Amino acid sequence: MKKRILSALIMIIVFIPLLLLGGAFFSIFMTLISLGAIYELIKIREHKKKFPLFIKVLTYLWLILSNILIYNQTIFSYTIDYRLTSFMIFIFVLPILFKEQNLDYDINDALYLLGSLLFINVSFSLVLVIRNYDLNYLIYLLLITVITDTFAFITGKYIGKRKLAPNISPNKTVEGLVGGILMGTFVATTFYYVAINSNISLVILIFLTLFLSLVGELGDLVFSSIKRTYNVKDFSNLIPGHGGILDRFDSLIFVVLAFIIVMGAI
């Protein structure tokens, strides 16, 4: 527990100044985070088979390039450069032709990398775009995920009895889910109403925040299911007491994706 708390404090000390600074500093930070996330998805797949080194290097380079292209973007639209995308598809798919030359790489590997890259790129670039658009919006989403996760853990630990999804995440409980969502909704709704828009219908705001909080918890379960598929406890041991990047950002990834869908309503 001490290791977990110390790691959390270090993350807060590093993250908050970069979040407030924004601009190139936050962009570089989010690029590093997204690189760590795609690295973890690659490594967890490599528990079953290794990817060719040049494929992995090109994956990282493409992610860096895509982040550079949008680091100042403030518009919620995902613009596709068809030339860059077509080149990426060629790079990932054509190597399956060399399987006979002892290159253990097939179409399943290519589609896994393409899907992982799109998933991570869209998710973490959205965090960057939301920060560029309005800092308070990102704080609102962070409050949803952090408060929900924290109180889900506390509530589940002390009063949790009924298992939520024992085959996916044995430690999660129904009581923890309810406690986390209620507290996350309360804190984040209060912040939004005070700091962003006090003219919004409070009923709509509460329901939308509750929805985002629930989606965050579902995202946590999705990533737990991925770990269960590959029979690992954590995506990595990068953050002592917490696991890896995806162990910490799993809820936020799904919250930002859902937020873009419902943003027009708030």
For residue 223, name the pLDDT band (cuts at 50, 70, 90). Answer: very high
Q: How far apart are the C-alpha atoms of 148 and 210, rounded to whole Å?
A: 10
Q: What pLDDT does residue 54 have? A: 86
pLDDT above 80: residue 1 = no
Q: What is the pLDDT of residue 99?
A: 62
Distance CA 35, CA 39 (A): 6
Compute CA distances 205 → 91, 94, 172, 199, whole Å: 44, 48, 27, 10
pLDDT band at 184 (very low <50, low <70, confident <90, very high): very high
Instruction: State residue 266's pLDDT score.
Output: 67
Indicate whether 101 pLDDT > 60: no
* pLDDT confidence of residue 168: 84
> Above 70 in pLDDT, residue 88?
yes
Work out the pLDDT band at 47, boundaries 50, 70, 90: confident
For residues 210 and 181, the answer to whether their CB atoms sit within 8 Å is yes
Q: What is the mean pLDDT of residues 13-23?
A: 86
Question: Please, which pLDDT band fits residue 241 given cuts at 50, 70 and 90?
Answer: low
Of 7-11, 25-29, 68-72, 249-253, least confident by mean pLDDT is 7-11
- Short-list 112, 114, 140, CA closest to 127: 140
What is the model's pLDDT at position 232? Answer: 86
Amino acid making up residue 121: N
